Each structure stands twice: as C-alpha cells, then as structure tokens.
Amino acid sequence: MRYRFRTALLGVVTTALTTAFLAGPGTAAAAGHEGPRTGFEESDGARWTTQPEEQELLARADRESARMRIDRIGSTKQGRPVQLVRIGAVRPPSAGQVRHGNSVLLICSQHGNEPSGREACLSTVRDLAYATDDATRRFLARTSVLVIPTANPDGRAANTRGNSDGVDINRDHIALQTAEARAMARVFRDYRPDTIYDLHEYGATPPYYDKDLLALWPRNLNTPKAVHREATTLSERYVRPTVQDSGFSTGIYGIWTDPETGEPVKQVAGDGQERILRNTAGVKNSVGLLVETRTTPLTQAEKDDPAVNNRRRVGSQLAGLKGAFAFLGERRGRIEAATTTARLAGLADRGPVYLGGADNDPATEEQVLKDPPCGYRLDGAAYEEVGDELALHGLRVEHDGAGAFVRLRQPLRALVPLLLDGRSAYHLTVAKPSSRC
C-alpha cells in the first residue's frame, strides 16, 4: 500500500467527523482552497521540509490567511526562532480568548531527529489556514488551534535528538534550563491549553515493540482524575482506533507485548516523571498525549525507496491527528469541564501530592505527601536562583523582605512540592515547608 500524505482538515471537522483525513495530492484545491506545499509534499516524501521552506510556508500563510498569525516565542542558542502559530475561525485568538475557551496545542519535533510529526503539523497548519468550508469555520469557532511547528529548531537543523547543547528538551519541562523548554512553558502559562498533543518517533524492537504508532497519556499520579480520564479516552477511543482504521498498527508507548497473544511482557519506557511533557501537561491540568511513529525496522519496499518509509511515518501521524480532532469536536464539553474543575480544585488545597509512582506503579509511602504543608518559604538567595522558573511555570509567589513564600492553594497546587520539596526527584531548590499560612 502506498500511504499518501496530503491532509484535508475538511475531512476532520465535518459534522460526522468521518470523512477521510489521509487524501492524495490536490485535496486542498478540490476542497475549494489552495496554499503553499511543504518540501515533503513537493518531493512525494523523498525528503523532509527544510527550515527555509518552513519559514516561507508559514510566512505566506500568515500573509494570506486572516485567521492565522505567527508569534516568535523564543530563540535558540544558535539564533533560530521558536514559533507559535495561532489559528481561529475568523481571526487569530488572543491568549485571553484561548484561556476562556476550548483549545489544543500541537508540539512538533521536540526531538530534532524525529521529523514526521513536524511534517504533519505543517500541512495541518496550512490546511486550517486556507480552508473555506463552513465545517472548518464552525470547528475553529469553538476550538482554538495552537501549533509549535518546530520545537527544537537547532536539533532539526543538525538532525539530532537534543538541542545545540545536546540537551533532551523533553526532559526539561520542570527545570526549564533550555531556551526551547522555556518558550513552551510561556505558552502553557499564558494560553493554558486544554489539550496538549506531542508528536514523536521511535525505533522499534521486533517482535515485541514494533507498531506503526504508539500513544501514551500522563501517568503522573498528580494528574487530576477527570483530566486523566479524558487523556486515556483520547488515546484509547480516538487516536489509536482511528490509526487502526487507516490501516496502521498501534500500541501503548513503553509496553512490550507478546506477538502471539498481545499481552504485556514488560515496561521499557513511559513512566510518571513530571519533567516529561506528557506528564507535565497532566500536572498542569491539561489533557496530554504523546504519540510516537515507528522509524525502523524497514520493509523491503522501504529499503528500496526511503520515501515509502517517510510516507508511512507521516501518514500514521496524520491518522493520529484525525483521531485527535475528532476527540476535540465530540468531547469539547467534557474536556473543558475536566480542565476547569482541575484548576479550581487547586484553590481548595486538599488531598495528597505524589512525589513518585505512576498510574500503573503505586507510589510508596515515602513518595506520598498525605498532609502537605500549606506552602514553602524561600530565602532571598534561593528565590533569586529559581524565581524566573517559578514565574515561567505560572506559580503565584508572595514576596517579603526575607525572600518569598509559595502557597499550595493555587491552580497548579501539585506542582509546588514537585519544584520546591527536597524529596522530589527533580526539585529546583530545597525550600522550607511551612504549616503556617
């Protein structure tokens, strides 16, 4: 089968959300609109879109589409822009409009040597920007779409997993030491997206771990229950079934399975570390999902023609996005209820905070703050060291002459001990817990 890659979001946002998402070249024109093509599309999958081509596509769409805008949200160490695309029904949504409505954020190519998600994101941006049908406008009127097309520009330029310093950005969403993770943190703080969809790739280990697309929700135990439920629903009832219906195989990220029975054999990845984006999303009250498309092993046809491999990878990403957009259209009310309730629950300041464990790995007694302090006090030196990171995370901080005080009673309640308690695996500093507020 020759997997074709040109996507038409018209198919995603129709009322029934059943029209085919993976369509052949020319679909955009057939749907009544046309826009710039990616380098991947122009080459029929023989090569990836270059960064100059990406900039040209985004700049043209920004000029020609009233509903789309590009913001530079950061710069890499090598001076490349980290960009955010905002797409709305009539005009680009503001941060305030996104915060008070339903929204999705696509994070593409955090790892620079995993390009297929970036290609799917670029064609999705283009098709949403140029769509002329009423169904797309109705969808965008109720759901703002945010996209970071290349979250790791230096890594993409070098075709490396890490950034120009060799740092894995997807392990930096707590410490925020990289320019790329800091840029994303600003978006999470300022826009508070309801759903965060993170596109990656992986190398398979046959026969136990070799599906075309793997997915995984936030496993961190601080993910609010309703948010966790929506995230697993996104994976298990929308993304994976849609990928399967499109002719691709799927599985759960990090879980080896018996090739005969399909039963789990062992877990090799996908734990509850809060510094990984899909878990950070859950801790920050967003419905998060990681998707990973298979790069290897290659079929004989893919060995003979690398474009066949590339098209399969991008095709499976597009199929996953089809399922994600169906989820956003059908469960909008449930998503908003889950994320809003989670943010308000932090103000009640009740319940345990987990310093370890996962939804499939119960926390030990030492990993549970059953009766957390009401806040943490930082002296002047400690606050000077981590104040910028607390602000980027969006935590509320009270200042006094001796330093600062961070209460747990705030929307990101569970994040406070994860950052400031010395028992937390990835704490920024060791602050003094206080029961006097």
What does 31-61 look like in DSSP terms, one character per residue?
A: TT---PPPHHHHTTTSSPPPHHHHHHHHHHH
| Entry pTM | 0.94
Both tokens of 380, joined, read: 């002047």
Q: Letter for the amino acid at 180?
A: E
Domain-embedded: residue 249:
yes
Is residue 76 domain-shared with residue 205, that is, in the same domain?
A: yes
Same domain (yes/no): 298, 235: yes
| Domain-embedded: residue 396 | yes
pLDDT of res. 34 = 75
Interatomic CA distance for residues 37 and 270, integer angstroms: 35
Is 245 among the domain residues? yes
Domain match, 369 and 234 both: no
Alpha carbon 79 to chain centroid, angstroms: 23
Domain with 375 in it: 350-434
| CA dihedral sign of residues 431, 429, 290, 269 | negative
Q: Are residues 266 and 361 in the same domain?
A: no
Give the residue from 296, 318, 341 where a domain finishes: 341
Same domain, 149 and 177: yes
Q: How far is CA 336 from CA 1, 289, 342, 394, 406, in A?
A: 39, 16, 10, 20, 27
1 belongs to a structural domain: no
Q: Look at residue 15 in the predicted model and tell me its pLDDT.
A: 29
pLDDT of residue 437: 82
Which two structure tokens, joined as six digits, stand for 141? Answer: 């009127």
Helix, strand counts (H, E) of the chain? 16, 18
In this structure, what CATH number is given to the domain that contains residue 213?
Answer: 3.40.630.10
How confident is the chain (437 residues) per 10-residue block, as mean pLDDT? 36 34 34 80 98 98 97 98 97 96 98 98 98 94 98 98 98 98 98 98 97 98 98 98 98 97 96 98 98 97 98 98 98 98 96 98 98 97 97 96 95 98 98 92
**Residue 305 and residue 368 share a domain:** no
Buried-state track 158-182, b at ≥16 Cβ within 10 A, e below 16? beebbbbeebbbbbbbbbbebbbbb
> Residue 92: what pLDDT?
97
Q: Are residues 297 and 235 in the same domain?
A: yes
Q: Exactly one of 180, 274, 292, 302 is catalytic; which is it?
A: 292
Same-domain status, 322 and 358: no
Q: What is the pLDDT of residue 18?
A: 31
Question: 20 and 156 share a domain?
Answer: yes
Last residue of a domain, one of 341, 370, 389: 341
Per-residue DSSP letter, 306:
H
Pairing of strands 375-379, 432-434: antiparallel
Cβ atoms of residues 212 and 249 within 8 Å: yes
**For residue 336, with 0-12 CB atoms within 10 Å meaning exposed, 13-18 middle and 19 or more buried, which class applies?**
middle
Overall domain count for the chain: 2
Q: Single out the residue of 22, 265, 30 nearest to residue 132, CA to CA.
A: 30
Q: 292 catalytic, yes or no?
A: yes
